[in-house]
Structure 1
């Protein structure tokens, strides 16, 4: 194992893995790092895991990341901290956990993902040219982000000194930039945030980072980690159904728009699940049975090769978790977990009753993806390809449906056509290319 990627959710782990897989690295994502053993870690160049720590306390997030650093410390890998492309979660405390437990390490943060419309300039993260705090992420029900300044976000969460390098210094080239990084480290900074507007900028940062001879921890949504590893190990070369079931747990405006487009253009068998009943211990079994019966009917009717479940199809149906939390005497995280577990149980039953007529699975939202993987006994995902940035295609490792094709995607990713594009990808099974080092 060359690199250990520590992500705070499963779709993020997959997103970084697929970028590296396309560069020729043999990659895998494991939903539970306790499943790792010597064979797993020797079989893959890159192992990515999720700590599932985005929505928990900073103290608990620190402990989870610390455990992962120490889990593989004897192998002396490079560590990478995968962060959300919209800076949600416990970024500072999770970086601290790596720096505290990896001697003499320096974290270089590149928040940009140009192919997904995320760029950092003047220290500010823009999403499709809009400041981060003006986007939908500011209203995220679990992890709202109300600041667009990358440095300020991290400084408010870390105990370490944070240096910054703006785009004008990046544009001066890798030689100058490597000296600048070393200077900031000499001044006592263990975290350095660097602007990037293009993929070429990210490549320059990777080149400069490797020139410093420092113990670098890449911290980013994926592109910088990819470029950093390519600098170390060289570039790659390229060599040359059934029904799709989708389970959507995200309640973002983006996802709702994608469902509307899918319904209008592909006529899927879409079954809406009552979230309130999934939360209620007395009603959850009845709701699961109700939805499962409808799925069975749709499979028998066989009018569509696309079938799936979602808790919402309109913005006005989105639950107010804060208000629900007060009324049910449950915290928001516990409510979210109950809903996602319910969706995972329905997915499991759908695959069972389909008698193999469902051949591929799509999940949207990191939390529901994790619960589905657990319910199906999946050990990990053999990463194959990237449909669009942050929408990852692979095949299940182990579990009840080994080698099943699957796409996982974060809830805030893509435009209105993205869900349809992913479904088409699974239906046609076009993942025929592979990459080798």
Structure 2
């Protein structure tokens, strides 16, 4: 592969590790290929990321050293600009020896070692490597039949395996932010450390530590599991520009407790709830100003994700019914007025806003919105979840919209979350 700003060689010690690291780059739009050995590694490769499996985890340390160093030499001859040494997230295998094999080629100033993977319960705190909260040496990894790990302290494990001086960035350094990390890195480098490991107990630690390291050198041997690999495209500005996805708009007119629970999960996922207070607008007529319409329009224009609800709170329902009784309206008439207001507000929003689609919860609400839009039918496309369909409809003015309809007292707790995700994906 010819040297480019994207060129990276990833050297892994087994195939599954090669794949789970490669996918961190591939899912960010980078052409990634995994090779079962380094035989196919050459200067004409076209992938942005080449991952080589040396199959060296369970072999004797000298053999692992030789295999990894050979792969690194071929990568250098092929013109790769960046190197990543994939490590097992439970530190099995010849972790230190394989890092040393690459460092001994003098291609890098130092190795930054962050094997933690918080998403899977692997974290480093104060140099202690913990697996689901337990010291690594007390877990089943210490009884692994092929590659047992008896050492819990990450920097000590690296020192024992390499014979090199190892520095460590601990939680006190990280708590001081990037400047504190830079100072710690400089201190270790001035002390002659060519391997520097780091704590990481949260995902955000990878990027801040990597940014600090990159500010000191362009020749770093990045060493870790999928956690560190995930942030490197962002660090090097390699990630493909994300597709701009317009939010979906949700109108929940049902007073069902099932819908309330679904709205709660939707709000927890990042949606903002705006409640339509109907009690003061039972004499309202379509076309008259309505403050809720303005509130929703402003929120959507600002890029916020909105779920418009009515009757979300029990006291709101009671207030609306009481207000209706004072006007001589039956509960049915009150319900029809609520649907009419939701339908008009929904139609005004859907005509004016660029959204990925709409979710309509409650049969009366769905009909009211469709009528207000002049929709005469819905083309059914697919199922979001069992018996919750996604379809397409065309407004009176010819605007095409994706729509998910859901009965009020129906669906799993995450039904609305799945519906909005489906709409954004279809867009």
TM-score (norm 1): 0.53
Secondary structure class of the residue paired with 1:107: strand
Once residues 104 and 121 of structure 1 are traced to their aligned partners in structure 2, the CA distance between those partners, rounded to angstroms, is 26
**Post-superposition offset of 1:76:** 3.9
- Alignment partner for residue 213 of structure 2, among 192, 209, 214? 209
The answer to whether residue 54 in structure 2 is matched with residue 51 in structure 1 is yes
State the match for 2:97 in structure 1.
93
**Post-superposition offset of 1:214:** 4.4
Once residues 216 and 171 of structure 1 are traced to their aligned partners in structure 2, the CA distance between those partners, rounded to angstroms, is 23
Contact 2:32 2:49 in 1 (8 A): yes
The answer to whether residue 86 in structure 2 is matched with residue 82 in structure 1 is yes
- Alignment partner for residue 233 of structure 1, among 237, 241, 246? 237
State the match for 1:69 in structure 2.
72
Once residues 196 and 115 of structure 2 are traced to their aligned partners in structure 1, the CA distance between those partners, rounded to angstroms, is 11
Once residues 194 and 217 of structure 2 are traced to their aligned partners in structure 1, the CA distance between those partners, rounded to angstroms, is 14
- Alignment partner for residue 109 of structure 2, among 91, 102, 105? 105
Once residues 189 and 96 of structure 1 are traced to their aligned partners in structure 2, the CA distance between those partners, rounded to angstroms, is 12
Once residues 106 and 29 of structure 2 are traced to their aligned partners in structure 1, the CA distance between those partners, rounded to angstroms, is 27
Residues 147-196 of structure 1, C-alpha deviation per residue, up to 9 Å, x if partnerless? Answer: 21111111110032101110121121112212321221121000001001
Once residues 178 and 235 of structure 1 are traced to their aligned partners in structure 2, the CA distance between those partners, rounded to angstroms, is 25
Once residues 118 and 177 of structure 1 are traced to their aligned partners in structure 2, the CA distance between those partners, rounded to angstroms, is 21
Contact 1:5 1:47 in 2 (8 A): yes
- Alignment partner for residue 170 of structure 1, among 163, 171, 174? 174
Secondary structure class of the residue paired with 1:156: helix
1:24–1:171: structure 2 CA closer, same or farther, 3 Å change rule? Answer: farther
Contact 2:31 2:49 in 1 (8 A): yes
Once residues 228 and 65 of structure 2 are traced to their aligned partners in structure 1, the CA distance between those partners, rounded to angstroms, is 23
State the match for 2:28 in structure 1.
23
The answer to whether residue 44 in structure 2 is matched with residue 4 in structure 1 is no
Runs in 1 of length 4+ with deviation above 3 angstroms?
234-240
What does residue range 15-414 of structure 1 map to in structure 2 within 5 Å? 15-40=20-45, 43-74=46-77, 75-239=79-243
Residues 40-78 of structure 1, C-alpha deviation per residue, up to 9 Å, x if partnerless? Answer: 2xx111100111011111101000011011102130421
Residues 305-342 of structure 1, C-alpha deviation per residue, up to 9 Å, x if partnerless? Answer: xxxxxxxxxxxxxxxxxxxxxxxxxxxxxxxxxxxxxx
State the match for 1:423 in structure 2.
none
**Post-superposition offset of 1:37:** 3.3
**Post-superposition offset of 1:100:** 0.5
Once residues 28 and 179 of structure 1 are traced to their aligned partners in structure 2, the CA distance between those partners, rounded to angstroms, is 37
Once residues 33 and 234 of structure 1 are traced to their aligned partners in structure 2, the CA distance between those partners, rounded to angstroms, is 24
Secondary structure class of the residue paired with 2:100: helix
**Post-superposition offset of 1:232:** 1.3
Contact 1:80 1:219 in 2 (8 A): yes
Secondary structure class of the residue paired with 1:157: helix
Once residues 24 and 170 of structure 1 are traced to their aligned partners in structure 2, the CA distance between those partners, rounded to angstroms, is 30
Which has the higher Rg, Structure 1 or Structure 2?
A: 2
Residues 183-238 of structure 1, C-alpha deviation per residue, up to 9 Å, x if partnerless? Answer: 21121000001001101111111111111124111110122133134211254344
Once residues 36 and 202 of structure 1 are traced to their aligned partners in structure 2, the CA distance between those partners, rounded to angstroms, is 29
Q: Which runs of 5+ in 2 are unaligned?
A: 2-6, 245-421
Once residues 28 and 159 of structure 1 are traced to their aligned partners in structure 2, the CA distance between those partners, rounded to angstroms, is 33
Residues 104-160 of structure 1, C-alpha deviation per residue, up to 9 Å, x if partnerless? Answer: 431011121011111100111111111111222111110011221111111110032
Higher relative contact order (CA 8 A, sep 6+): 1
Contact 1:210 1:232 in 2 (8 A): no
Contact 2:41 2:74 in 1 (8 A): no
1:102–1:225: structure 2 CA closer, same or farther, 3 Å change rule? Answer: farther
Once residues 138 and 62 of structure 2 are traced to their aligned partners in structure 1, the CA distance between those partners, rounded to angstroms, is 28
RMSD of aligned alpha carbons = 2.0
Number of aligned residue pairs = 241
